[in-house]
Amino acid sequence: MKLLKHKAFLIAYLTIVLVVSFTNNSWRIYKDHPYQLVYGTDVNQYYGYLPQTFIHNDPAYKKNFDRKYWLIPNKNGINLPKMTLGMSIMYLPGFTVGHIIASNTNYEADGYSLPYSISLIVFTYLYVTIALYLLYLCLLRYFKPSISAVSLVLIFISTNLFYYTLCEGEMTHSYLFLLFSVLIFNTIKWFENYKTRNLLLVALALGMAILIRPTSIIVGLFSLLYGVYTTNFIVHLKHNWKSYSVAFVLLVFPFFIQMLYWKIYGGTWLNWSYGDEKFYFSSPHIIDFLISYRKGWLLYTPIMIFALVGLFWLPKKIPAMKWSITLIVISAVYILSSWWSWWFGGSFGSRAMVEFYAFLIFPLAVFIERVAKVKYLNIAFIAVFMFTTFYNILGTHKKSWWQLHWDSMTKEAFWITFSEIDVSSENHQKLEDAYRAPDDEYAKKGLPERERPFD
């Protein structure tokens, strides 16, 4: 197996496994039922298509099974799921294995018993493992195995990808991380050897990513600009128009499935299920999104500061990525900070940026390579990266033990919770008093939030 030949990857992966093993009891989020998923939040909405269709024979959600699905009336007044079915497609292998196990044991074959949960969790780990391996293979084209391995370890244990794999891994982020990694790997392979299967995988990955989260369309810039740099793109398109035609069909196919669902069960080809939730592109919360105490991306995941610095050195190291990653990151920050709920509800750090680490690992590797060559500075940054890892795992611990609020953090609350490993009983009330709930009512209208007490 080729995998066994990549010793640096195996060492990196073993390092990740050891860190996870040694810290598991600190951050484990499902403390009472550690292997049973909590079907009650976003995951339940993404997942509901599967038990409704394959167990209850009710893809239209007509029957009430008391699963608290978020059903929103469309313009015809028909209740349909708020979320698209993209994540259900990604969950399907795990659901299938779980259903086979539950059907042949004493567990309820209802879509929600323990075999389903364990199977979904295992597939989440498998998907992230595949993503890390694909990114490692991409990194090897430009960096030594040691730099590639260190970058891989840090992108996992020093960022909230750690949390969104191990604690709430069935949210969209680790799955999009996989799809983005597939897109990157196969884009590079396509422009190296022009094997049609690589182009089709790019199209399928992008199509699935857009179905899951439409803003993912911006990552198509990677493939487009990579091709513009490495080929005479117009000539290239003319020579490969048949492959691109098939790829286009594959790109739109996932969304066609969704449109077909809306048409069959709702009577319309298109459906906006988010009601009064929308983007405010004229007033993005960029500073809040990046550094606010409530949910600032760089405050809660500071290692990404070094990845952003690496963007300035990336064009010289990898000319084919000269503009794409920078434009993707800028576009992501602008678009995501323009959403009415720029903090994206309950989360650890800025969860909406997690999937983009598949791209940011490249400038991070450039930064690591640069500092590794400078005497004494390399030693200093070993300490820095050890701190970012400790800080990330500590944040994961605090989030999972309710010492870091999911949406109501303030400056005061931040410094109270990070002043000690565990918040003492005498400081706990101070922490509660320091929280400030977001003003959803005004935010949905695009208005400045009012000062509100924590409920």
pLDDT bracket for residue 6 (50, 70, 90): confident
421 secondary structure, DSSP code: S
Is residue 455 predicted with pLDDT exceeding 70?
Answer: no
pLDDT greater than 90 at residue 290: yes
What tokens appear for 349 in the block? 């750090």
Chain position carrying tokens 């292997």: 35
Helical axes 196-212 vs 220-230, angle rounded to 10°? 150
Task: Identify whether the C-beta of residue 80 lies closer than 8 Å to the C-beta of residue 71.
Answer: yes
424: tokens are 């003492």
The number of helix segments (H) and strand segments (E) in the chain equals 23, 2
**Interatomic CA distance for residues 95 and 90, integer angstroms:** 9
pLDDT over threshold 60, residue 30: no
For range 89-107, the mean pLDDT: 96
- Answer whether residue 37 shows pLDDT above 90: no
Structure tokens belonging to residue 201: 């995988």
Residue spans per domain, the chain: 272-455
Taking residues 242-264, report their average pLDDT: 96
Residue type, position 411, single letter: K
CB 356 within 8 A of CB 332: yes
In whole numbers, what is the pLDDT of the chain averaged over residues? Answer: 93
pLDDT of 233? 87
Average pLDDT over residues 371-380: 93
Max Cα distance, the chain (Å): 71
What pTM was computed for the model? Answer: 0.95
Flag whether pLDDT at 10 surpasses 80: yes
Over range 112-118, report the average pLDDT: 91
Whether the CB-CB separation of 177 and 184 falls below 8 Å is answered with no
pLDDT value at position 142?
97
| 34: confidence class by pLDDT, cuts 50, 70, 90 | low
Which band of pLDDT confidence, cut at 50, 70 and 90, is reported for residue 159? very high
Give the pLDDT band (50/70/90) at residue 454.
low
Q: What phi and psi, each to the nearest 5 degrees, are found at residue 446? A: 75, 20
Q: Which residues, at least 6 apart from 265, have a Cβ–Cβ distance to it below 8 Å? A: 59, 60, 78, 80
Torsion of CA 360, 363, 367, 369, to 10 degrees: 110
What is residue 318's predicted lDDT score, i.e. its pLDDT?
97
Please list, in sequence order, all residues whose beta carbon lies within 8 angstroms of the beta carbon of residue 193, skipping any fewer than 6 positions away: none
Output the pLDDT for position 68: 83
What is the reported pLDDT for 401?
A: 87
| Cα dihedral 304, 308, 313, 316 sign | positive
Token couple for 250: 């594959």
Q: Looking at residues 135-143, what average pLDDT do you find?
A: 97
pLDDT at 66: 75
Q: Give the span between the Cα atoms of 164 and 179, in whole angstroms.
A: 15
Distance, in Å, from the CA atom of 121 to the CA atom of 108, rounded to the nearest integer, reads 18
Return the axis-axis angle of helices 145-157 and 114-139, rounded to nearest 10°: 140
Distance CA 135, CA 174 (A): 14
Which stretches does DSSP call E strand in 204-339? none
How sure is the predictor about 25, in pLDDT bands with cuts at 50, 70 and 90? Answer: confident
pLDDT tens digit string along 122-134? Answer: 999 999 999 999 9
Beta strands in 296-346 (DSSP E): none
**Which one-letter DSSP state was computed for residue 106?**
S
Beta bridge partners of 321: none
